[in-house]
Structure 1
């Protein structure tokens, strides 16, 4: 496969996953902002900080700022509209490598966000976020049910797995930022609902309940999102998929690369550590280290396959 084709498939996976993950982060911020006694602007500020969006001049974001910069901005690195436009461009560049269903999923209603002004998007925020999640699910279903399991598939899955790992970490960082100003409420009623919002954001509430029962302790939720081996959005599961994709590409190309060694070492580390050790050393510090490591693997993949 040409490096250019591999790059487009890799970033197609990343952009589609990023669009959905950004929608999930906004949805979580929306839930948290509606909690009684919650200073709404701090929730939206944490959402903007976590996604790396450009902040307003006063460093305090509103819901309208989030709509403008994380949904409708055609240029922002984490903006949903920008991600979907870039995903479509990447898909068009490798059109012959996509199935008809995949291409249709990228093209169907793709100008929907362009038709919205800021006030309309804000008034219909839940509807807009649900549209993004459904569009992403449609694309993912098209990939899983029709795409050949060849190197193109593994480059696309690799990109989406790296992006999903990164965004799960950033979702947890939203929660961390929200607790900073009021650590005395950790474990309280509002804290409990905020952690529940994290589970809602990853569509993990029922899966969590099946695994942990009704014990919604923060360390259990962090364990579920970081170290659970069978939940599809956990960090450990994402790294198992990264390792799997890189192993298949090693077989296809007859050689290993630094990125595969890094991914395997990280997977072994996640299988070895426990959540108590993470909390003792600092959850925020662990998350930041993992975000940096995930970014490093992405760069190593680009170096290994020349894009």
Structure 2
């Protein structure tokens, strides 16, 4: 496969996944903002959302002050913000158009229809009328795109590069979400303390809904109940989103997929890229949440993000950039 074709497929999937992840983060922030809370807590929540994508300086340069409406507009409809939903869907569609001949008709039509429809929704004010419904629509279109891709594409290198893009992006985003939400709420103060909705303590009751919203942002609330069959505890939320291989959006599950697809496109079993991916996955496969918390969750996730970004760079250099002859 030509490196430029692989590059377009890789980034098409990354941008589609990024649009979904942005919608998930906005939805959890929007729902959390409806809870009774102080103005400072609400402000910290919206600032944390921008920090996840490292966009706080860019936002402040444009808007000066963090407001819920300003953040929503910046992260949804601002075409100059590369991480906004509209920019991600546009980039996904443009990458798909560049390799139209490699995609099945169903995959292309799904990407194209998503782009046309999101413009109609924003133009007609659908987003302002019901932000939650709009975010659910973005998630649905991402699910549809992924399902159509797996269901109609030949299981060759094209599909493997698309899956690589999807799960690298997912690993990056889940790590950012966990880091900002735990770091921002000083989760270490609550480790070992069960959080229940029936608590008479207002702060603890808020925290129950805070962690519940985080779980729902990664479609993990029902999964948590099924796996742990207990009240929500922050350390278990961290374990579910970092180490559980059977949780679809966890770091471990994402790296399993990255490594599996990397093996399928790598012609050299001793590839340094493959070795780095395997080493990163091994740390998750054999890690324990108590050890991670003891050494520092923030430090662990910061290092993980650095390693994932370095892995993405290695994949680009080895597979996606034209090789010098």
Check whether TM > 0.5: yes
In 1, distance between residues paired with 2:87 and 2:164? Answer: 21
In 2, distance between residues paired with 1:103 and 1:286? Answer: 39
Secondary structure, counterpart of 1:82 in structure 2: helix
Q: Does 1:133 align with 2:139?
A: yes
Give the direction of change, closer, same or farther, for the CA distance of 1:196–1:24 in structure 2 (3 Å limit).
same
5+ unaligned residues in a row in structure 2: which ranges? Answer: 194-203
Q: CA RMSD in A?
A: 2.1
**1:1-307 mapped onto 2 (5 Å cutoff):** 1-39=1-39, 40-53=42-55, 54-57=58-61, 60-115=65-120, 116=122, 121-180=127-186, 187=193, 188-250=204-266, 253-254=267-268, 256-307=270-321
5+ unaligned residues in a row in structure 1: which ranges? Answer: none
Query: Do 2:174 and 2:251's aligned partners in 1 also have CA atoms closer than 8 Å?
Result: yes
Write out per-residue CA displacement over residues 144-172 of structure 1, whole angstroms, 9 at most, x where no aligned residue.
11111100100000000000001111111
Give the drift of 1:127. Answer: 1.8
Query: Do 2:174 and 2:249's aligned partners in 1 also have CA atoms closer than 8 Å?
Result: yes
Write out per-residue CA displacement over residues 192-221 of structure 1, whole angstroms, 9 at most, x where no aligned residue.
211111110011111111111123110011
Give the drift of 1:256. Answer: 4.3
Query: Do 2:126 and 2:134's aligned partners in 1 also have CA atoms closer than 8 Å?
Result: no
Give the drift of 1:176. Answer: 2.5
Give the drift of 1:114. Answer: 3.3
In 2, distance between residues paired with 1:168 and 1:160? Answer: 12
Secondary structure, counterpart of 1:108 in structure 2: helix
Give the direction of change, closer, same or farther, for the CA distance of 1:215–1:183 in structure 2 (3 Å limit).
closer
Give the drift of 1:25. Answer: 0.7
In 2, distance between residues paired with 1:275 and 1:109? Answer: 39
Secondary structure, counterpart of 1:95 in structure 2: coil
Equivalences, count: 304
In 2, distance between residues paired with 1:221 and 1:141? Answer: 27
In 2, distance between residues paired with 1:149 and 1:306? Answer: 19
Query: Do 1:25 and 1:47's aligned partners in 2 also have CA atoms closer than 8 Å?
Result: yes
In 2, distance between residues paired with 1:183 and 1:13? Answer: 35
Secondary structure, counterpart of 2:237 in structure 1: helix
In 2, distance between residues paired with 1:268 and 1:291? Answer: 15
Give the direction of change, closer, same or farther, for the CA distance of 1:104–1:119 in structure 2 (3 Å limit).
closer
Query: Do 1:23 and 1:133's aligned partners in 2 also have CA atoms closer than 8 Å?
Result: yes
